[in-house]
Structure 1
Amino acid sequence: MGDSYTAGVSTQAGWYPDPSGAPGMLRYWDGVQWTPAVRRAPSAPPLAPPPGSDQPDRPDRRRAVGWWLAAGAVVVVLALVVVGAVRLGRSLVPSASPGGQASTQVCPPATGETPTPVAAPTDGRVHGGKLSFPQLSQPFGDVLPETEVPFARDVHQQLVLVQSNFDGRGSSWVATVMVGDLYAGDGFFSPQDGARIVVDCVIGRFYGDAQVTRHDVRNAATTIDGHEAWLVESKLSFDINGLRTKGELLLVAIVRTGPSSSGIFYASIPDTTPELVEPARQALAGLRVDG
């Protein structure tokens, strides 16, 4: 039996001044305890006060295409059946409308590092950094680069359109499988810490103002292609106006790819397209650490 969680406006996870007193450093608070993850503070003041102080209203976040999280040292292999160039619930770009459960506290800020273009091998696999999965057949589309990920580079994905213009404003809901290479930053996330941060970021930022209930089916250590990893399989439930699906399957696998890097597999599959679950699981099972 998995654990259940409800994401709401009380979430206080985020980056705060390091309680150890290290000047110019931030440490990640997961909402319960301090984690080992640290990074340099941006030149601007932190967006959120330390835990225990009054929290500001959190702006709504609009998700369309793209992705979340930033920094640390998680080389993420994202298999994300949720992004896509148009998705109210999963966008890297904040929504202009206020309110909702989304919060800049939940996701680390972007590093500002510019990705270096890398020619992808033509070997029938989708590559992102040191991680790759077998290219999926139809209804998944061609392999596309994802340039809106602020915390990763060399990101590639395959999409399936699930519902177009569900909000009457041109937004579409898609299924996506994505892989990418995260910037190392100034600290290092263990696979377990990376998985927690990624899932918190996704739930806290990419479903607009909808309340999201999370039920973990699996949240445990594993190995992928002989490398240390952490796998989260979770059932998300929500109710977004105009959207037919009321939930989806979330798969996140953080894979250690080197002494100071990790990779993540992320898959989010709407309940209205159960036929896409097996291809996503095949992509997860076929993950490979290259190089």
Structure 2
Amino acid sequence: MTQAGWYPDPAGQPQTYRFWDGAAWSQETTSDPYAPPPPPRAAPPPPAAPRPPASSPSQQPPTVVAGGAGAPPSSYGQVPTPGYGAGTPPAPGGYGQQPPYGGGFPPAPPTGGSGGSAKTVLLVVAAVLVLILLSAGGFFGVRALTGDDDDGDNEAGDSTSATDSATDETESSDPTEESTATDGTEGTEGSTGTTAPPSTQCTGGIPEPSVTPRRNAERISGGALSIPIPAGFKPEVLFAPAFAWADDFTPLVRTVEENPEAQTSWFSIFGVGGLRKANGFDDPATAAEVVMTCMIESPDQYSDVSGRTEVSSGEITVDGTDAYQLTVEIRVDNADLETEGDIAQVIVVDMGDPDMFGLYISQVPIGDQELLDLQASMVDRILVD
């Protein structure tokens, strides 16, 4: 026979307990499973007819069915088994079913209406955290997660060359030629046919933004530059570490494409920050080319790169300040996504600071005219703070 004690109310009321005396349920209820038993009921008058046999449902607890609302279960994982002194919890370590938390009420049973709400909240929170991590993780392999290209894939084709008539004009400052880094180490040949900059340039920054953007902010700032927040974009500081060459980099992010089955996503990004001159960035033109190469070669930014083609380059002014811009088409070959690659723009601003250049980066998908128009208009909206 089931032991007498307080059990979850079979009527299904959340966080409510009713006393089972071994033969019947009490009229009284409580919210405290450690409460003393209710006073015994007055003995009923003698029956007019013989009492039913002991096996009668009125005298025996109904058969327990998992999840049902009959008699209390003989052992319920979330409710202490009665039997010890009223109001006296079991000794530490001596009760295997004790809820793993201190104080408060044990959760109501799963079939008791809202008893699963706490677990649901935890699951929702966990799901949100997973989505955040997946989103960030999707970018940190981005732009596709399947690994680097083979060098042989980029040995042929005009699209693999970073040189054209525009780069010929700036050949004297082209860092794609074989060069020696400031620390004496030589650059290495990258997967797109360019010379990869030394690691001190591609990973020498402190990209995490110094100030977290306000929720209702209209602009973001970084490295003494600022840009407005376009519709559909929002600041995502978790993406900043992927821009490892920059300092104080604040990115604006918009999801362009998602493939949940492959856990792969593509994002459009606008961001501003700084570029430390001590890391070998001597002039805006050279710095723009080095940053573009670092971005293409970074496993946290692109994989499966199939080609690079320069779109435009040259000196410009940003908010009345001298700067240099480089725009490149970056193509990728990823079967999990329809996006073909990015039109990426790097602008390095010479603000006269002896230690730092200003840095602006934008990445928008090839063929997305809305975002291409935004990219073109954003340059005139950069401010030097």
Query: If the TM-score is normalised by the length of the shorter chain, which range does it land in?
Result: 0.5 to 0.7
Q: Please say if 1:6 is aligned against 2:165.
A: no
Q: Any idea what the Cα deviations from partners look like across 1:160-187, whole Å, max 9, x if unmatched?
A: 1111137x44121011111112334254
Q: Please say if 1:283 is aligned against 2:378.
A: yes
Q: Which residue pairs with 2:210 in the alignment? A: 117
Amino acid at match of 2:235: V
Counterparts of 2:349 and 2:318 in 1: how far apart (Å)? 7
Q: Which residue pairs with 1:86 in the alignment? A: none
Q: Which residue pairs with 1:241 in the alignment? A: 335
Amino acid at match of 1:279: L
The answer to whether the 8 Å contact 1:6/1:213 transfers is: yes
Q: Please say if 1:182 is aligned against 2:275.
A: yes
Q: Which one has more relative contact order, counting CA pairs under 8 Å at least 6 apart?
A: 1
The answer to whether the 8 Å contact 1:224/1:255 transfers is: yes
The answer to whether the 8 Å contact 2:250/2:271 transfers is: yes
Shift of 1:283: 2.1
- The TM-score, its normalising length taken from structure 1, stands at 0.60
Equivalent position to 2:236, from 130, 144, 151: 144
Equivalent position to 1:31, from 157, 165, 176: 176
Tell me the C-alpha RMSD between the 2 structures: 3.4
Shift of 1:221: 1.0
The answer to whether the 8 Å contact 1:136/1:283 transfers is: no
Shift of 1:116: 7.5
Shift of 1:7: 5.5
- The TM-score, its normalising length taken from structure 2, stands at 0.47
Structure 1 gap ranges (5+): 9-27, 59-99
Percentage of matched positions with identical amino acids? 23
Q: Which segment is superposed worse, 106-115 or 150-159?
A: 106-115
Q: Which has the higher strand share?
A: 1
Secondary structure of the 1:164 match is strand
Q: Please say if 1:203 is aligned against 2:357.
A: no
Equivalent position to 2:227, from 124, 133, 137: 133
Shift of 1:209: 3.1
Structure 2 gap ranges (5+): 1-157, 163-172
Counterparts in 2 of 1:1-291, with a 5 A limit?
A: 6=160, 30-34=175-179, 38=182, 40=183, 50=186, 105-106=196-197, 108-109=199-200, 110-111=203-204, 117-118=210-211, 120=213, 124-137=218-231, 139-140=232-233, 142-145=234-237, 146-148=239-241, 149-165=243-259, 168-205=261-298, 206-214=301-309, 216-260=310-354, 261-290=356-385
Aligned length: 210
Shift of 1:112: 6.8
Secondary structure of the 1:198 match is helix
Structure showing greater radius of gyration is 2
Counterparts of 2:342 and 2:205 in 1: how far apart (Å)? 31
Shift of 1:274: 2.0
Structure 1 segments (4+ residues) deviating >6 Å? none
Shift of 1:5: 5.0
Counterparts of 2:211 and 2:160 in 1: how far apart (Å)? 39
Q: Compared with structure 1, are the counterparts of its residues 118 and 213 closer, same or farther at alpha carbon in structure 2 (3 Å cutoff)?
A: closer
Counterparts of 2:207 and 2:361 in 1: how far apart (Å)? 22
Amino acid at match of 1:212: G
Secondary structure of the 1:185 match is helix
